[in-house]
Structure 1
Amino acid sequence: MARVQTRDQRRMSRDMRKMRRYMRKSIHGKTRERPGIVGAAAGIFWTYRSELAPIYTMIVLTFSASVGHRLWNAGVIILVGLFCQVGGSVAARRYDRRSERGYARTVLFLGCGWWVAGAIAGPGHAPLPTILLLGGACAAIPWWAHRRRRSRVRVERTIRAWPVLAEDAGLAGSRVMSAVVDAFGYTARVALRRGMSARTAIGRADEIASMLGVRPNSVRVTADPDREDHVIVRVTESDPLARVAPWPGHADITPLITRPIPLGVAEDGTVVAVSLLRRHALIGGVVGSGKSGLVNAILASLVPADDVRVWGIDLKGGMELGPWEKALGRLATTPEEAVTLLSEARDELTERARDLAARAERTWHPTSTRQALVILIDEFAELPAEALDIIDSIARLGRAVAVTLVIATQRPTQEVMGNGATRSQMDVRVALRVRERGDTDLILGSGAYKSGWRTDGFTLAGAFLVLDPEHTTPLPNRAYLITDDTVASIVEKHVAPIALPPAPDKQHTEQSEDPQRVLWTALIDAGPDGMAVRDLVTATGRSRRWVYYALQQLQAAGRVEPIDGRWRAAGDDTHE
C-alpha cells in the first residue's frame, strides 16, 4: 500500500513540475508580447521603414559624411563618391520602368554629390544642411506617391499578418510562401495546412476577400498545378479589363484556320487565342454579356482566311450575322433555311469522308483548294427539333474532315442541345457572364464553378473565361471591340465568291452540254419533292461547290427554293 502511495506521489510531483514549467513559459510569452517603450518605438520604425526611407537616407548621409570628413582626405572621398555613383547606376538597371530608373539615378547623383561636399567641407558647413533638407523633401514626394511602392509595402504587411488573418477565413495554418506585385494587384502562392485541399480554399474566395478588405469579386483562388496543398491567390486592386481593347487587325500575319484565332486580351496583358481546326466551340452567356463581340472576333479572323469557308445561321432574322452576309458562303435566317443548310453540310461531310477514303487518308488538311468548313450558329436554342439530329451527326463526325461547329447560346441545357452528344463534343468552351452559379457548369462542364471558374461576378460586357487544352486556369479575358465600320471594311475586302466558275471541272471536261441548263432541267423535272444536292452533282457532272453557287444565284432570283434539305423550282417556273 505504501508503495502505491509513493508511486502516486511521484506522479503528482512530476505533473506539478510540468505545470510550473508551462506557467513560466506562459508568463515569459506574455512578457515578450508587451515590449517596452524602446521596443515599441523600434517596431514602429521597422514597420514603417518604407515610408521613413527618405529620413533614414538623410541620416545615413549625414553620419557617413561626418565619418569621411574625419578619416579621409579629399582624393579618397572623391573616389568613394565616384564608386558609389557608378555602382548605384548599374544597380538601378534592375527597375523595369524608365521613370523608376531615372528617379533612382537622379537621387543617387544628387545624394553622392552632397556626400562628397559634406565629407570634404563637413556636413554642418552652410548651406549643406539646408540643401539636404530641401532636396530630401523634394525627393521624398515622388517616393511617397509611388503607387507600386505603396502596393509592395501593403503586400508585405499582408504577408506578415496572414497567419492571424487566415483564421478568420477558415484557413488556419496556411502561410504565404511568395508574392509578386504588378500594376493591377498582386499574386500570392499560399501553402495550406496538412489535410486541407485546394478545392476547400477555392470555395473560400469570398471569405479571403473579406479578410483582406478588398472589393467584391476581386479575389480569385486557383489550384497550384504542382501541389494539392498549395493554391494561387490573385488579388486585383484595380480592374485591368475595365478598358476595352480595340481589334488590332492582322498586321503582317496571314489569317488561316490552322493558326489560333485571337479573341481578346487576358488579365495579364497577353493575347488570348483559341484553335478551331478540328475543334467544336461553345459560347455561352446571358443577354448583353458580349456573345456578339466574340462572334465578330472569330469572323474577323476566319473571313479573310483562304483555307476556310464560313457558313452562318442567325435565327434573329440576320440581325447579328447580317453585316457579314457578303463575306459568308451561306447565311440562313429562318428555321427552314437552317435545316437546309445543315443538311447540305452533312452531305458535304459525307462526301469529304468518301474523298479521304479514296485517297487512303485519315485527316482533311485545309488548303486554299481543299478548304475547311466552319458553321457558326447564333441563338442555337431557336433551332427546330429536326436540326438537332443533323448537328449531333456533324459534331461527332466533323473533326476528321475539318467541319467545325461554333455554337452561341444563353443556357446550353441538355434540352436545348438535344439528347445527343453535341455538348460533350465541344472542345473549346467560352463562358461569359451568367446569373446563376449552375450556368457556369452548363457551359464549362460539371464541377467548373467549384474549381474556381466563376463568371457570375463579371460586370463588363465581353469579359469571359476560356477552357480548352491550352487554357486550363480561370484567367479572365475581355473580347476585342470590333466596330461596325471595321466589319464593313473587312467584308468589303473579302466578299465571298458568288459567280459560277467559268471553266468546267477537270474530271468532267468530256461533257459538252451546258451544265446550267442541265441543272435547271433537273430542278423542273424533280417536281414538288425536289432533288438532293448530291443528285444534282451527278446530273450536271459539276462539283458540289459549283452546284451550291448556282443554287444560290437561282434562289436570289426567286427561281428555286429549298425544302427539307432538297431543292426544287419555285412557283410558276415548274411549268416552263
Structure 2
Amino acid sequence: MGRLVLAALAAVVGLALLLRWRRPAWYWLTFGVLLAILRVRLRYASVMDACHLTVPPPRWRLALARMLKRDIPRQQVPRLLWLRPTRTGLRLRIRMRPGQDAFEFSAAADRLRHSFAVHQVTSREIKPGVVEIAMTGYDVLKRVQMPAKTENGELKIPVALAEDGTVHYRDYQEIPHSITLGATKSGKSVYQRQVVKELASQHVALVGIDCKNGVELGPLARRFSALADNPDDAADLLEALVARMDGIYDLIRREQRISADTPHGEIAANIWDLPEALRPVPIVVTIDEIAELALSTKKSDPRRDRIITALVRLAQLGRAAGVFLDIYGQRFGSELGDGITMLRAQLTGRTVHRVNDEASAKMAFGDISAHAVFAATQIPNRRPGMAVVGYSSGEWVRIRTPHTSMRQAVTACNRHAGLTPHLPELARFKPLVDLAPIEAPAVAEAA
C-alpha cells in the first residue's frame, strides 16, 4: 500500500514538473494556483513586514501597553481585502494603513515577486487607500496565447497580451492617434498586421501610406479604401483627407441646430453625436514609415511642408471628424525636420518595440516616464513582438503581440473586402486590385 502511495505521489510530482516545463499555463491552472494561494495566505504578514510595507501601531495602543506594562504591539500589516485567482495569476486587493501610499507598493514589486515566488508583480491604485497587486504565475509573454473571448467593440480591438496576463486593446475613441517605434526585426510590422487584421472586420475605412513601394500594405489592398505608395501621392492623399475632414465639420455644424429648447445630449460636436443615417464612416490612417515622408534632401521642400502640415492638422482636429492616425517608424525625432515635435505632441498612444539606442526610446517616452525608457532598451532580441506601451499618466506596461503572418492578415482583409467603404473624396487613390468574386458582406457606403 505504501509503495502505491509513493508511486502515485511520484507520478503527480513528475506530471507537475513536466507541465511546468512544457505547458506552464496548464501547470498554473492545475497545480500552480493552489500553491500560490497557500504561499500568499501563509506568508502575507511576514512578507509585508520584510518588504517594509507595515506601519507602527497607533500611539494610543503604545500608551496603553506602557500603562498596563504589556509587550509593545507589533507593526500593523495592511489589510488583505480579497484574493482572486485568474487564468494567469492572482489578484490581491489591499487596503493601505494610514501613512502609506501606492508608490511604496510599486517600489516593492520586485521584492514581492521574490517573496511570493511568482513571475511578475505589478501594482496600481484602485481608489484612495486601496491598491491592487497583480501577480503573474508564469511568463505569459514567452508564448503568447490570446483568450478565446475578448471585449471587442466599435473601434476597440485586441492587439496584444500584457505582462499581467490581461489583453491589451487599441481603443481609438479613447486614444485616437498613436506612434509605434521599433528597429528592424523588432516585430513592428507584425503589430501593424495584427491591427489591420482586427480592423478589417469593423465598419471602418482603412487608408494606407506605404512609401516602400507598398510592400507592407499592398498585399492588404482589398480592404483599403485608399492607398499611396510614394511621397507625391501621399501628399495629395493627406490633403484630400484634410478636405474630407473640413467637409465633415461643415456637416456637424449644419446638424447642430442649437436653440433654447434643444436637449444638451442632442447637440452634435463630433460624428458620434450625428444620427446614424448621416454619420460618416470612421477612417484609420496607417503610415508605414514616417521617415519616408518627413525626410528630405532639400533645405526647403514644398512637398514635405505639405505632408507635415496635413498630418499636424489631422492629428489636431481629426478625432471629432472620425479620422485616426497610426504612425509607424524606426525613429521619430527632431532630426526628421521642422514640425515633427509638434506632430509627436498630438500622438497620445506610444508603443516602442526593441530599439537600437536609448535616444530612440526617449523620443517616445522621454516626456512620459524614465522607467519606460529603460524598459524599452531592455527588450531582448530573441523576443520579437515584445514592446512597451506608455500612457500620458506616466504608467507603462510590457506587451507582446501574437505572431501574425502576412498570409493571416491578407486572408482577413480578403474575407472582409466587401466591408470596404467607398469614399468619393479619395476615389482616385483607391488601389487597383483583382475584382474576382469574394464571399463577403455587401459594400458599406460612406455617408
Q: Pick one of 368, 386, 409 that aligns with 1:487.
A: 409
SS in 1 for 2:309: helix
Tell me, yes or no, if the aligned pair for 2:146 and 2:161 is still in contact at 8 Å.
no
Matched length: 369
Check 1:227–1:289 CA distance in 2 against 1; reply closer, same or farther (3 A cut): farther
1:245 to 2:167 alignment: no
Among all aligned residue pairs of Structure 1 and Structure 2, give the percentage whose two residues are the same amino acid. Answer: 21
State the partner residue of 2:243. Answer: 347
Q: CA separation in 1, counterparts of 2:291 and 2:188? A: 14
Tell me, yes or no, if the aligned pair for 2:89 and 2:165 is still in contact at 8 Å.
no
After TM superposition, give the deviation of residue 239 of structure 1 in Å: 0.5
Name the structure, 1 or 2, with higher relative contact order (CA <8 Å, separation 6+). 2
Tell me, yes or no, if the aligned pair for 2:225 and 2:426 is still in contact at 8 Å.
no
Q: CA separation in 1, counterparts of 2:9 and 2:284? A: 60
Deviations 1:493-517 (A, max 9, x none): 3447999x9xxxxxxxxxxxxxxxx
Q: CA separation in 1, counterparts of 2:45 and 2:364? A: 39
Q: Pick one of 312, 315, 323 that aligns with 1:395.
A: 315
Deviations 1:27-54 (A, max 9, x none): xxxxxxxxxxxxxxxxxxxxxxxxxxxx
SS in 2 for 1:316: coil
1:461 to 2:379 alignment: no
State the partner residue of 1:423. Answer: 344
State the partner residue of 2:283. Answer: 373
Tell me, yes or no, if the aligned pair for 2:48 and 2:54 is still in contact at 8 Å.
no
State the partner residue of 2:160. Answer: 264
Q: In structure 2, what residue type is equivalent to 1:225?
A: I
State the partner residue of 1:535. Answer: none
Q: CA separation in 2, counterparts of 1:140 and 1:551? A: 68
TM-score normalized by structure 2?
A: 0.65
State the partner residue of 2:213. Answer: 317
TM-score normalized by structure 1?
A: 0.52
After TM superposition, give the deviation of residue 260 of structure 1 in Å: 1.6
After TM superposition, give the deviation of residue 322 of structure 1 in Å: 2.2
Q: Pick one of 392, 409, 422 that aligns with 2:329.
A: 409
Q: In structure 2, what residue type is equivalent to 1:346?
A: V
SS in 1 for 2:160: strand
1:289 to 2:186 alignment: yes
Q: Pick one of 549, 554, 560 that aligns with 2:427.
A: 549
Q: Pick one of 167, 171, 179 that aligns with 1:275.
A: 171
SS in 2 for 1:272: strand
State the partner residue of 1:112. Answer: none
State the partner residue of 1:299. Answer: 196
After TM superposition, give the deviation of residue 446 of structure 1 in Å: 3.1
Q: In structure 2, what residue type is equivalent to 1:370?
A: P
Q: In structure 2, what residue type is equivalent to 1:381?
A: A
Deviations 1:398-429 (A, max 9, x none): 12211111112344445659356433333444
Check 1:406–1:447 CA distance in 2 against 1; reply closer, same or farther (3 A cut): closer
Q: CA separation in 1, counterparts of 2:175 and 2:187? A: 22
Which structure carries more helix by proportion? 1
After TM superposition, give the deviation of residue 463 of structure 1 in Å: 3.1
Select between 192-201 and 311-320 the one with higher mean Cα deviation: 192-201
Q: In structure 2, what residue type is equivalent to 1:244?
A: V
1:198 to 2:102 alignment: yes
Matches within 5 A, 1:508-523: none
Please say which structure displays the higher CA radius of gyration.
Answer: 1
Q: CA separation in 1, counterparts of 2:179 and 2:122? A: 24
Q: In structure 2, what residue type is equivalent to 1:379?
A: E
Deviations 1:293-346 (A, max 9, x none): 2221221233343x4221111233323212212321222222222212111111
Structure 2 unaligned residues grouped into runs of 5+: 17-30, 57-74, 257-267, 295-303, 433-447
Q: In structure 1, what residue type is equivalent to 2:124?
A: A
After TM superposition, give the deviation of residue 447 of structure 1 in Å: 4.2
State the partner residue of 2:36. Answer: 151
After TM superposition, give the deviation of residue 171 of structure 1 in Å: 11
State the partner residue of 2:59. Answer: none
